[in-house]
Structures are given as C-alpha cells and as structure tokens.
Amino acid sequence: MDKANRLNQELIFLSNKNIFHVTDLVEEFHISKRTALRDISDLEQMGLSFYTENGRYGGYHLISKELLIPITFNLEEINAIFFALNALTSLSATPFAKSYKHIYDKLMATLPNINKMQSQSYKTQSTITRRLLSRHHNF
C-alpha cells in the first residue's frame, strides 16, 4: 500500500476513535513503529488535531476529526450511492472491484448513525432484490 493510500486509510481508522496509540496503527496497518510515528506527524500536518498525554492512560487524544469540508447527502442520494456500489460489486469484470469496499467503508465512516442504519437496511434490501433477480434470470 502506498503512503498516500495508507494515510487515507489511517484517517478513516482514526475517525471513530477519541484516543489512539502508536501500537494501534502498527497492528492495524502492519507498519513499523517508526513509520507509524512518521504517519502521525504527516496526519498532523494534514490537519488532524490531537494532543499527547504521557503515562499509564496516555496516548494521542483527538481534538477534532473534521479534516474536509463536509458534503451532505439526503437519504435518497445516499441510497442511490449504495445502490450503485451494489450494482458495481456484482460486475466481476471491473478493474475497480477492490476499491468498492474501500468506498463503502469511507462512506459508512462519515455517515451519522441514523443514516448508517437506514443505509445498511437499504443495502440488505438491495442485496435480497439482486439475488431474487439473478434467480429469476437463471430460469
């Protein structure tokens, strides 16, 4: 995984945490402690706000998780995005199949909890619909 992609994945990983340790990054991304420290420095330069606390309960405490200007979608738009991702996932010949999961994870990491529940419900419904349609076409 290249550095830019890893930093992006680290931002997503840290988006749900209030506190983290270097070992969290080392274990999650299979990188060295030194690389994790460099990445933390790079994340700070990118705008990730945190402070460090030493001691038994120390670590990196996130102050602000807002790095980008938020883009808002209504529920219908969110469902359209997830429907498109589901449709694309069923196409095995695309060169981007590996990216669909990353896109899904990024979207889920940024959605408010109520939208996550609604989108997951929609994903389940569209998966069932896709299975039913594929069975119908196989006859």
Q: What is the pTM of this model?
A: 0.51
How many Cβ atoms from other residues are within 10 Å of residue 29's Cβ? 16
User: Beta strand pairing status for 59-64 and 49-53?
Assistant: antiparallel
pLDDT in tens, 80-119: 888 888 777 776 666 776 777 777 777 777 776 655 555 5
Q: Which has the higher per-residue pLDDT, 70 or 58?
A: 58
| Cβ–Cβ under 8 Å, residues 65 and 15 | yes
Mean pLDDT of the chain: 75
